[in-house]
Amino acid sequence: MEDDAADAGVRVVHRFVDWRGVDRHGARRSQIDGPVRLLPRARRGGRHRGRSRNSRLVPRDVRMRLTPGAYALLGLTALVAALVTILTFALMKFMAAARDARRSLGSSSGAETALLSAALQEAVTNLKARERATAARADASERLAGEIVSSLTAGLLVIGLDGEIRILNPAGRRMLDLADDAPPEQIERSLKELTLTEVVDECVTTGTAVVRRSVTLPEPRHGVSHVGVTVSPLFDDRSELHGAICLFTDLTAVKDLEEQLRLKDSLAAVGELTAGIAHEFRNGLATIHGYSKLFDLKALPDSYRAYVEGIRAEAESLGQVVTNFLNFARPAQLVLSNVDLRSICERAVEEIRTDARALGGDIEIRGEFALVDGDEVLLRQALSNLLRNAVEACAGSSTVPRIVVQSEVDRQQRLMKVAVNDNGPGIAPALRERIFRPFFTSKRNGTGLGLALVQKIVVFHNGRIVAGVSPEGGASLQVTLPTTK
């Protein structure tokens, strides 16, 4: 149809309607629909003014057709392009800043690394120094605790509920007569044999402290020692009982001093009571002995001569007993001076050595001696009596006497101990306290005053004498005297 119109010289105009429903001539789509036939125009030179031939050949609806979705797509594309442009500029700016930062860091990285390394090294050094200081303080505290425990003059025993010995200081080992290197098993066995464990068990069982309890510990050589004990329960941080702490102090010196005072009082009382009686006895015996001397033994019959000789012998013997008793009962009058006890021992040994050698034996002096404040005559008399008793004990058991005078000095307590040890039959434990009583004797012809007089001399020198067992298996009589200050 359009072709026919063209052939008829009629111009057909295709109207383009935009998305708002209005054509380019401003007419509404509802009013104009479809092609419009116009009046033919006069041709001017075969050309249309203002238009090319080609534009006339392309339909307008083909060249200008755009939908609303296309416009939306175009807007979105423009937005994305703008965002990409903005992000590109931002990224380029960030990369430039990063390059500047890298360049600035590159110039100072060495100095900063060195500074950081030095700071770290200083921190590590300070930490190590603190660790060493802490360890040093811990070691110092441990050493101080050990020194305190070792320096205590009292015995310290820490024992667990299972009976394990956790701490036993050197003073405690000495009091218990244990070697410094004694194994725990030996210590536990030794404690079980002592009355000390009974006090510890009482504390652990009741959970209460036992204060100032006095117990006795046996000494293998010299009787018993007296010990004051205080036991406290040991609690942990949760107040649970897990052992006991035992402090024990050697009270032997105190007990010995009490015994010395008691003996001095007793001897003084006995001396005052018996001195007059003994004096009268001695006078009577002297009279009897004098009258017996008046008899002429040659003129007497043989049967009477034996009686008179018996009277003389018994009077002399009783006179010696009374003299010894008076010497024992008489208050001691000490003439004190600085006495070298070695010299006294040597003189006493020379006095008794003849009797020992007569039995095939000998007497030896060993150890260290010191000076004492004492009466030289009385001390030599005491040592002579001890040596004579040792020789007589060996002779009574048909043993060749091997007697040793062993001495040692305790400078810490300012004491000297002199022991007379023999290889005789020894002294029964039940008799070790009784042998120092007046008139007690185990000899057939003994007076029972020799050891009593020795004890009196020692006591008046503020000393102590005890009986025990010698290393040779016989008796050991140990005298302890204070040394000069």
pLDDT single digits (tens) 198-250 = 888 888 888 888 888 887 776 655 556 788 889 999 998 888 898 999 988 88
Question: Which residues share a beta bridge with 339?
Answer: 372
CA–CA separation, 107 vs 349, rounded Å? 101
What's residue 478's pLDDT? 93
CA–CA separation, 387 vs 418, rounded Å? 12
The span from the first CA to the last CA of the chain, in angstroms, equals 160
Q: Quick one: CA dihedral 48, 50, 53, 59, positive or negative?
A: negative
The Cα-based distances of 242 to 94, 184, 238, 239, 358 in angstroms read: 73, 19, 10, 9, 64
SS3 call for 475: strand
CA–CA separation, 427 vs 435, rounded Å? 9
**Domain residues of the chain, as ranges?**
1-65, 155-250, 256-329, 337-482
Given pLDDT bands bounded at 50, 70 and 90, which one contains residue 341? Answer: very high
CA–CA separation, 152 vs 143, rounded Å? 14
Question: Which residues share a beta bridge with 215?
Answer: 227
The Cα-based distances of 415 to 20, 331, 456, 463 in angstroms read: 136, 25, 18, 9
Q: Which strand (E) or helix (H) includes residue 270?
A: helix 252-294
Per residue in 347-380, pLDDT tens?
999 999 988 898 888 999 999 999 999 999 999 9
Residue of 166, 170, 247, 165 whose CA lies nearest to 203: 247
* pLDDT higher than threshold 90 for residue 343: yes
Question: Which residues share a beta bridge with 214?
Answer: 228
The pair of three-digit structure tokens given for residue 161, joined into one six-digit string: 């509920």
What's residue 65's pLDDT? 54
Compute how many other C-beta atoms are within 10 angstroms of the C-beta atom of residue 374: 27
The pair of three-digit structure tokens given for residue 167, joined into one six-digit string: 């701490």
What's residue 66's pLDDT? 57
What's residue 418's pLDDT? 95
Architecture of domain 155-250: 2-Layer Sandwich (3.30)
What's residue 318's pLDDT? 82
What's residue 39's pLDDT? 42
Under 8 Å between Cβ of 256 and 455: no
What's residue 262's pLDDT? 79
How many residues does the structure list for the chain? 485
The Cα-based distances of 176 to 231, 461, 469, 475 in angstroms read: 16, 28, 17, 22
Comparing 61-65, 111-115, 425-429, the range with the smallest average pLDDT is 61-65
Per residue in 22-39, pLDDT tens?
444 444 444 444 444 444
DSSP letter string over 24-50? TTS-BTTT--S-EE------BTTB-TT
* pLDDT higher than threshold 90 for residue 346: yes
CA–CA separation, 461 vs 379, rounded Å? 9
What is the 8-class DSSP label of residue 176? Answer: T
* pLDDT higher than threshold 80 for residue 284: yes
CA–CA separation, 315 vs 285, rounded Å? 6
Per-residue pLDDT, averaged over 177-199, amounts to 78
Which CATH code for domain 337-482? 3.30.565.10
Given pLDDT bands bounded at 50, 70 and 90, which one contains residue 285? Answer: confident
CA–CA separation, 168 vs 272, rounded Å? 50
CA–CA separation, 319 vs 316, rounded Å? 5
* pLDDT higher than threshold 80 for residue 397: no
Best-predicted range by mean pLDDT (110-119, 207-216, 416-425) = 416-425
Average pLDDT over all residues of the chain: 77
What's residue 347's pLDDT? 92
Under 8 Å between Cβ of 59 and 14: yes
| Pairing state between β 210-219 and 165-168 | unpaired
